[in-house]
Structure 1
Amino acid sequence: MDAYELEALIEQAAHTDTAARAEAAVELAAVVTGRSDGPAVGALIELTRDAETDVRDRAVFALGALAAVDGPGVRQALWARVDDPDEETREEAVRGLAVRRDPRSVPLLGQLLAADSAHLHTFQAAAVLAEATLLPALRAFDPRDPGVTEALTACDPQLRARRDRDSDALLEAVYELLPDTDAALYAHRMEAALTLALTAHDSTLAWNADRLLERADGDPERAAALVADDIGARSPMDGTAAA
């Protein structure tokens, strides 16, 4: 988006029409660059204070969940909405703070988990926050429900340590099996999952390391073989396709 388009979007954020401002909130999140002092972030923060509930809800969701940006101003804007009259806006503000690992969100997220309104986004936020005090509330949910197992693993220090060991072993196994590739493990600052990225043949592929290990029944060497199979590589040991 060029400067002219961004300026038009910022003008739309100040439009007198409620629907136009709500639409601008979501579109602004898509053009945030990561700088917390950028004009798109400033316009989005201003929309979180909008008099209309729908606009505030959209803006808090966009700032908290869609915009990959952090900073004192962002957190202050989200914190200002944790007591919002609108329930959905309050919940989005809490989740937005949680995925930024703001310690003030721990008791508030615990309250969301204790409420009937707990859903996938709340579990995902708990997984990012990785706070052991959330375990009692999380254990009340069925681990088969989407997001629950991931949150339990992230918040339980022992399970998290085991996951980290398995992920490290996966990376080592990939290097053993595919020594000519460039592999790395990383985590986005607002996400709980570890990503395995591998560069080979002038292209980069990525896998969710947790999902990859699940496919391999927790065996790092089998998971590495799945990676080799996914990229169509062949084992340097026997020249056969990895399985």
Structure 2
Amino acid sequence: MSDLASSRPAPDEPPDPCPGGPADVSGLFPRASELSAPAARDPADALPDGLDGFVLNPLAASVSWDDEASFGDSAPFGDAVDDTEPTARTIAALLETPMTPAAELADAVAWCYDDEALPLLLPLARHPDAGVRRAVAQALPSVLGDTEPGDTVRALVMLSADADEDVRDWACFALGTQLSEVDDPVVRDALAARLEDPHDDTRCEALLGLARRRDSRVLPVLHERLSRDNVYSLEIDAAGALGHASLHTLVRGHLSGWDDDVVARVCAALRLTDPDGVGDDLLDGLAEWFRAGAPHATDEDRYWWSVTLQLLEHAEYRAQEIAEQVHHRLLGLEPATTLMLGSRLSQLAGDHGWPRWRPSC
């Protein structure tokens, strides 16, 4: 789930592959040949409080739903099913069949997006097969729906300390990124416990999850890791998410050797850690985009908007800063200001306390 490469620049490499503007996209997003790339934990014996009541057979748990609304005229749980996408009915039917192979159950669980399946999946966090537990960690965020996340978080915290590295990896990804809006000491401590995990991806997912929550424990870890010759892409992402200015020079030291799909993320981290802010070129470009009516016709038209979305992917809280500075550039231009105040950028800024957002726009 992460990429690694040497960050040592080639002798003929340009000193800074990330400057540039809309007229020279390749300058801002360096070529893979000009960039470098990288992207784990100890199993714990103790289980978190609140999971002792989980039973391995989820059919023993109390599950309430409207059978007709959920399944229409479909057959009872015990009958054969042939759903294109696994549903609660699919999972229940597999669980009712004693001879269901663990691999078949794991495959169904991993690709289930049916909110009704949540009560069936939670007990499977204790399944004896690692493949099933990995599938549960993968699926839980997708079936949470509008349910309070408490039980799901407790299951994922348990899975983040699993003996299997793939289970830990998916659990840390779920807790750290997919459920990044859940921010409490239990989640933070579970992620912090994985910062020295022997599995690279797990360790990096935990680091990114803590950085998204701007937990101070990640700053010394990032200083140490970004000082190495080889770094992971998720470590670069974490630097951007934290956005601490002391990381800017370290990020700049890892601009070369990355694959194409990582380049924009590296450049985003460089902007997010810049002590002078995200860049006047970006802010001016966004303002011009709104003046032009925020066109979506071509990639060139929305270039700076795309760059902004890349920044906000890991550092959404920076929306308030960006929105305020773009708004200042649009003062006196009513149509552009109105458009900007009703935009997704302003909505994200409003979610983080920006008072100018106009939800009615």
Q: TM-score range by the shorter chain?
A: 0.5 to 0.7
* TM superposition shift of 1:6: 0.4
Paired residue type of 1:5: A
Q: TM-score, normalised by structure 2?
A: 0.45
- Counterpart of 2:180 in 1: which secondary structure? coil
Aligned to 2:193: 80
CA deviations over 1:173-224 (Å, ceiling 9, x no partner): 25699xxxxxxx999976237999xxxxxxxxxxxx9xxxxxxxxxx9xxx8
Name the structure where strand makes up a greater proportion of residues: 1
Runs (5+) with no aligned partner, structure 1: 178-184, 197-208, 210-219, 228-243
- Counterpart of 1:126 in 2: which secondary structure? helix
Q: For the structure 1 residues 3 and 186, does the alpha-carbon distance in structure 2 shift closer, same or farther, using more than 3 Å as the test?
A: closer
Paired residue type of 1:46: M
Aligned to 2:315: 192
For residues 144 and 159 of structure 1, the distance between their equivalents in structure 2, rounded to whole angstroms, comes to 25
Aligned to 2:123: 11
Q: Could you tell me whether the CA contact under 8 Å between 1:98 and 1:109 is conserved in 2?
A: no
Q: 1:129 aligns with which of 233, 237, 242?
A: 242
Paired residue type of 1:122: E
* TM superposition shift of 1:83: 2.7
Aligned to 2:67: none
* TM superposition shift of 1:10: 0.7
Q: For the structure 1 residues 174 and 36, does the alpha-carbon distance in structure 2 shift closer, same or farther, using more than 3 Å as the test?
A: farther
CA deviations over 1:109-146 (Å, ceiling 9, x no partner): 22232335523322222222111111121121226841
Q: Could you tell me whether the CA contact under 8 Å between 2:269 and 2:311 is conserved in 1?
A: no
* TM superposition shift of 1:86: 3.1
Q: Could you tell me whether the CA contact under 8 Å between 1:64 and 1:97 is conserved in 2?
A: yes
Paired residue type of 1:68: S
Q: TM-score, normalised by structure 1?
A: 0.64
* TM superposition shift of 1:34: 8.3
Q: Larger relative CO (CA 8 A, sep 6+): 1 or 2?
A: 2
- Counterpart of 1:118 in 2: which secondary structure? strand
For residues 71 and 35 of structure 1, the distance between their equivalents in structure 2, rounded to whole angstroms, comes to 16
Q: Could you tell me whether the CA contact under 8 Å between 2:237 and 2:269 is conserved in 1?
A: yes
Aligned to 2:273: 155
Give the count of matched residue pairs: 196
For residues 132 and 32 of structure 1, the distance between their equivalents in structure 2, rounded to whole angstroms, comes to 36
RMSD, matched Cα: 4.0
CA deviations over 1:85-126 (Å, ceiling 9, x no partner): 434322221121112221211121222323355233222222
Paired residue type of 1:26: Q
Q: Which has the larger radius of gyration?
A: 2
- Counterpart of 2:278 in 1: which secondary structure? helix
Aligned to 2:208: 95
Runs (5+) with no aligned partner, structure 2: 1-112, 296-307, 323-329, 331-335, 340-361
Judge which range, 116-125 or 49-58, deviates more: 116-125
